[in-house]
Structure formats: structure tokens, C-alpha cells
Amino acid sequence: MSRLNINIPPGVLYLIKHTPHLLFPPVTVYIFLFLAHVYIPDSMAVSLIGGWTEIFLHILSLPLALTLNVWYTDLVNAWNAWKLGAVMAKSPSLWEDPTPGGFLSILRMSKAMRSGYPAEQLRHRLDTLGHTFNMRILFTDRIFTAEPEHIKAFLATQFEHFEKGEDSRSTFDSLLGTGVFAADGDLWKFHRTLTRPFFNRDRISHFDIFDRHAEEAISQMRERFRQGWAVDFQEVVSRFTIDSATEFLFGKDIGTLNEPLAYPFYAFSSSDNTSNTRSTIKSFAHSFTSAQMHTFHRARWGKHWPLVEFWKDRTKEEMKGVRRVLDPILVEALERKRGKQGEEKEEEGVKEVRDREVGEGETLLDHLINYTDDPVILRDEIMNLAVAGRDTTASILTFTMYMLSQHPEILRKLREEVLQKIGGKRRPTYEDFREMRYLRAVLNETLRLYPPVPFNMRQCKDGALLPPIKPGDKPIYVPPGTRCAYSVLVMHRRPDLWGPTALDFDPDRFLDSRVHEYLTPNPFIFLPFNAGPRICLGQQFAYHEASFFLVRLLQRFGAIELVEEAMPLMGRVPKEWKDEGGIKARERVQMRSHLTMYVVEGLWLKMEEAEEVTEEEV
């Protein structure tokens, strides 16, 4: 909606689109009453209808029509399920939320998103209703699951029945547009085919870009540590990943690491704290995150989100800040294309790029503009890749360092592997990472407990059956158009899938007998990068990038400390968390999610420089 050139508020567009549905019930009542007055004017019932009674009937017609439509849909779905020998997913009782449209549930979800622990509301529902259940939100059924077999159906075995869907495209349109993450069908295949060659082994095994940006990031951190300041590690790695990703994909980084790092909140009045002033790059980071937050909050309203942003698309101003930084990259690439084309005829050019090979040293953006010079399509793809390139690896690194700060024995063991396999100075290689089993186990355990994308969504295209979990159970019928949400965060923490220590941070579970006990028989219990045809193309890129940065960091630093007093008050853990038991009681940072999971107000760390290690000592 927000992509129209005409500046019409989202809510107005929504009402225009739904006007026929909104007018049909009262118009039907009007016609019925008009005909009654014409053909049976002497009827006692007709004579009683008039004035306020007639107005009341017109007003009542809309909720009555909605109720009848819901009842009819329920009957049709129940009938279709019965014909297929299936059942509908279990739903909460009416007593849990007696409000129309599940409005109370929406308020609870909103509160949990603002101040609760990730997936807490969902986990409580799963504990009482089973690992797949149905919830009616705004008179529309939604299925929620943390069941591996059902997630497997969404992503792999019944992939053709589940898509991103029109509701998701509407929700994320102003952020992701027609890019690969929001697209379906042939458009998704087009994007996927174009990007796949840029994530093969040869391209993601050259670490020059990682090394250059990691050195910049670590140097800035080391300078601050020597001054006695804590550093927001989440900010540092977000800059590292966006600079690395933009150079890798577009041939030019956006230079976020050229800006000085932020100081802790209590240093705001310090004369040294020049970095807290707003620059174009800082505005980019703020706008980038804010736009994701707005689109994530839309998700709970589904296709009705314009009613919450009635007069203004809340992402519009934020996206201007993002485009101020990314658009010059696009403009420069288009100018390069025009310079190369010279006097070539357009028809010949189009014919040539159909089967063209990726050139040596060619960036993904260079490759894309050989297929289209439509700035909207190109901008959308840039945004999609920027989101993935920055946030996924930044989340992995942030939560890995959070866990290492809480588990010094694991930090010590990981650093020993780094020094034994690589030493204190040498740059790591692709072959090194293949040998570093403990490093991969640490990353996997972080991805298990703190997956970058904790929640995801699909929409059923034409009806489907989810397989029964227990012997003797019936399959679950999913009606056409149903939105299906799944949480790998909840699934990754289930003790029945991962054993009694499921809530403990223990990298050895990926190395010892537990691999064969839990993971090998059921690989779909671990899905940090999705699975099936839409599995993340950048999975190995993210592993390599995170591994490279961690190795370079642990070559320089030997101790990590979480500095809670450096956190702004809004980011500190609520006192009541400590009384609730489980993993929540052990957390020392707050975390939330937009498209990816992040630490609220940053992960503030201090690190102690390690003594230089000689090759003989190793």
C-alpha cells in the first residue's frame, strides 16, 4: 500500500479496498426493509420498524454478518476436515479470551512484545494445548506450532502448499518489497536463481573482506577498553556485518566502522562522548532497526494493520533514512552499467543476459542490473540482502559473546582451540574452520538457544493435512488461507526433544553421544537457518563470518565481562525475572525480536587483552 505514488494514508486505502464488504450488510438490510414497506406495509412487524429501530438494524447488520460468516467458515472447515479423516487444531477455551476477535489476546501479545521474555506467551499456550494449536485473532484462525514434523511440512515435505502469502507481503511491503524474502512462486525462483552463484564455496571462502573490517572493529574496541570504557558489542558487530555484507554483495561498503563507537549512557555529558551525535550513518542504523520494529508489530494485526497506522505509514520516514545510504550504491552501479553498454542495442543486451555467466570479480548488484534496471526491484533486493547480511550474523555474534561472558570455562576451552589450530596471529582459512569442531559447536549451541529468527510465518495456499504426532491420532486439517506461525526458539528449547539439559548452554551436546540420541534421528529439531527449498542461501557465509570474527577476537582478548551498569535502565533485566525460575531467571540481558532477535539497549562488554602467544608456546 505504501508503495503507491499517490500519498493516500494506509487506513483510507484499507477502507476503500474493503468498502464493498463493509457496505454489503447494511445495504442488504436497507433493501429488505424497503421491499417490506412496499409489499407488506400493513404487517405488524413492518409497522414496528422505523426511526431508531431501523438505524439499530443497519448498525447491527455488520457484526451479525461477521458472526454468521465465522460460523459458516467453521462449519465448512469442520466438514472438510471430517471428509479427510482429520481434525481441526485445538483452540483455547472461550473463557480464556471472551472478547470479540480475540482482542484480549492481542493486548497480551502486545505487552509481551514490549516487555516480556521472547515466546513466553506462546510457550504457555503450547504447554496447555499441545505443540500445535489454533488461535482466533481478529476473527481469523491462525495456527501456531513448535512441532518439528509440522514445521517440516511447512518448509519441506508440503512446501508447495505453504507460501509467504499475501498477508505477509502486505505487512512487510514497505521494508522488503518484492525481494527474495517476501516473494513467492516464479518471482521467488527468479531471485533465488540470481543470488545462488554468489554463495558458493569459492566466493565465501575468500576472507579478505572479513579480515579488513574485523581489524577495524577490533581496533576501535581495543582503544575504548584501554580508556576504561565498556563497549556495546552488538553495535560493533552490526557495523562489522553491514560493512562486510555491502562490500561482498555490492562492491562497496557503507562505512559504518568509520564512525566512532557509542559510549555508555552515563558518559553522555562527557566531553569525550562525541560519538553520540547523530550522523548519516547513525541515522541509517536507527532507521534500519526502527523500520523492522514497525513491520514486526504489524504482524499481529495481519492484513488489518493499516487500521493501526491509519493516517501514516510508520516505516515511511525510517525508510528514507535507509535509502539515503543505500541509494547511492544503486545509482553508482546503474551508471557503471550505462557506461559499459555504450551504444549496444537494448534488444541485444536483453538477449545476452538471459544465459550469461557470473563474471570474475562481479558483484551481486552488477549481476542484477544486467537483468533489470528497474530501481524499485533493485532497491528491494538490496534491502532484503542488507537485512540478512547485517542482522543474522550480528545476532549470532552478539549472543555467542553473551554466553561466553557467562561461561568462562567454555571461553577458555574455545580460546585454547583457536590458539592450538591457528595461533595468536595467523589469519584463519576455510580449511581451519573445518577442523575447529568446538568453535562450530559453540556457534550451534548459541543458534539453538538464541536463533536469529525466533519466529516465522507461512500461509496455506489450498488446504493441507499436518501429520499426526502420536500413534492413533488424526492429522490436523489446515484450511486454505490460514496463517501458520512457527517458533524454532521454542522448539530448540524443548526438553522432550533435547533432553533434560535443554535450557543449559552446553556446546558439547553437538559433540558427544547426545548428537546421535537427539539430533541425528530427527534433524528438523534444529533449524536456525530454516530448511527445504527456502533454506538460507547465506548459511555458510554466516558461519564463516561469525567464525572469522570470533577467532580474530580471541587471538587478541582472553577475558570477557558483561558490564550491567553500562546498560541503560530500559535494557536491564526486570527483578521479577529472577523469581520465575528456568532460563529466564539466569538471563542478565533483555532480548526481543523484530525480524531477528537482539539485546535490548545493547550488549555492553569489557575485554581483557591477552598476552602475546608465541608459536613455541602453542
SS3 assignment, position 232: strand
Here the cell at position 66 is 461477521
Closest CA to 493 of 597, 554, 583, 361: 583
Q: Is the dihedral of CA 64, 68, 71, 73 positive or negative?
A: negative
217: cell is 572493529
536 is in an annotated binding site: yes
Instruction: Single out the residue of 393, 319, 311, 421 nearest to residue 597, CA to CA.
Output: 393
Count other C-beta atoms under 10 Å from residue 589's C-beta: 23
Give the closest residue to 530 by CA, choosing from 590, 461, 596.
Answer: 596
Distances (CA, A) of 187 to 192, 363, 392, 538, 543: 9, 21, 23, 19, 27
- Grid coordinates 501456531 are at which residue? 144
Residue with cell 484462525: 141
Distance CA 526, CA 491 (A): 8
CA dist 292 and 280 (Å) reads: 18
- Going across the sheet that includes 140-145, the strands are 132-137, 140-145, 483-487, 455-460, 162-163
Please, which residues have CB within 8 angstroms of residue 194's CB and are 6 or more apart in sequence? 364, 367, 368, 371
User: In this structure, which amino acid lies at residue 608?
Assistant: E
Provide the annotated binding site for heme.
536
Provide the annotated binding site.
536
